[in-house]
Amino acid sequence: MALYFLVLDRLSFQEEILPGLVESWRKRSFAPCKAICAKVLTRAKDFADRYYIVGETLLAQIGKGLPFDRLFWQHLAGELLWYSAVDIPELQTSPDTLARLLAPQPENWANTPREALPPILQAHHGSRDLRIGNTFYRPEQAGWNDPSDVVRLAAYLNSVHPETWQAVDLSCVPEIPGEEREEELAYLRDWFPPLQELYAQAAQRDQVIVCEILE
């Protein structure tokens, strides 16, 4: 599984993408999404060319009058999120290990609501489910952080000092052998600053962050 951070402009996300999808679901028609699909289509084509994606996007098919279908609607939501993203940084991170370092309580975080997760996990998985009207978009795999969450988590991440971490701090992670702890710490220290920068920039630019897991 891979974790992706989709950085989106707040106004586009909250005033175009979400309302269009909500109306589409309510009316059981893709017509309310035509305007935003047309707006994002050029970016989608560039994305497909860059990553050698073959096949016509749903965005393009909506403009041709594709009939409404619930499964297509969910796929369209995914395309709008991905192709509207102003940035999808390639971050290498280990949220479970970081949670052991920064929130070492013996909790089963997998069964915890997003709003009750420790900040380090909210930064990776979102502070809230991605709700589109009365429907949830991939509730087990996708969450998001609104502008207030982004500002809060940016401040939290800025308060963390990876240089103070010690190998002994990973003794609570039995799957990492003692002789590998220094290497794991070096890996975490290398990739923590890009995570801090991601949230710091998003906070400055009034952006939202969607966190999505893909298999």
Model confidence over 115-145: pLDDT tens digits?
A: 999 999 999 999 999 999 999 999 999 999 9
* Structural element, H or E, at residue 203: helix 181-204
145: its two tokens: 């952080």
* Fold held by 2-214: Hypothetical protein yfbM fold (3.40.1760)
Q: How many CB atoms lie within 10 A of CB 110?
A: 7
Q: What are the tokens at 32?
A: 């309310």
Average pLDDT over residues 159-165: 94
Q: Is the pLDDT of residue 22 over 80?
A: yes
The conformation of residue 9, written as its DSSP 8-state character, comes to E
Confidence of residue 104 (pLDDT cuts 50, 70, 90): low
Q: φ and ψ at 37, to 5 degrees?
A: -65, -45
Give residue 134's Cα distance to chain centre.
20
**Better pLDDT: 174 or 72:** 72
Query: Taking 80 as the threshold, does the pLDDT of residue 208 lie above it?
Result: yes
Where are the extended beta strands (E) located within 43-180? Answer: 128-129, 131-132, 135-136, 142-145
What's residue 32's pLDDT?
A: 96
Partners of residue 9 on adjacent β-strands: 207
What does the DSSP 8-state code read for residue 86? Answer: S
Tell me, what DSSP letter sits at residue 16?
I
52 vs 54: CA distance, rounded Å: 6
pLDDT at 106 over 60: no
pTM of the model: 0.92
